[in-house]
Structure 1
């Protein structure tokens, strides 16, 4: 029978959220080890322009439909 190696501490006090505390250490370590993930998730000028275009087009279409 193969035994599984378990950590002595079942929660990670460094993780601030209860869900993250319940995760195994190798899962949390993998998320924070990736450099620059915040910069990849940042919105660019093109993203804002696309959002504003879609918002204005929807606003105009609803206004024309109501009028």
Structure 2
């Protein structure tokens, strides 16, 4: 059996993490986000309209299914 001082920890701990779950997370989780987010790409009016139309139809279908299931 190895002495306690020679055993290697499976996960490095962070001194700022007080909760046991946060202590078990790897260090890369605590790295800050990059300063510059990606620039949003320009979407055409047609793409926006298609997305809105699909959202409307899917919401209508979901609502119709829920209401008919409730009334049945």
TM-score over 0.5 for the alignment? Answer: no
TM-score range, shorter chain: 0.3 to 0.5
Is the radius of gyration larger for structure 1 or structure 2?
2
TM-score normalized by the length of structure 1? 0.43
Bigger relative contact order (CA 8 A; separation at least 6): 2
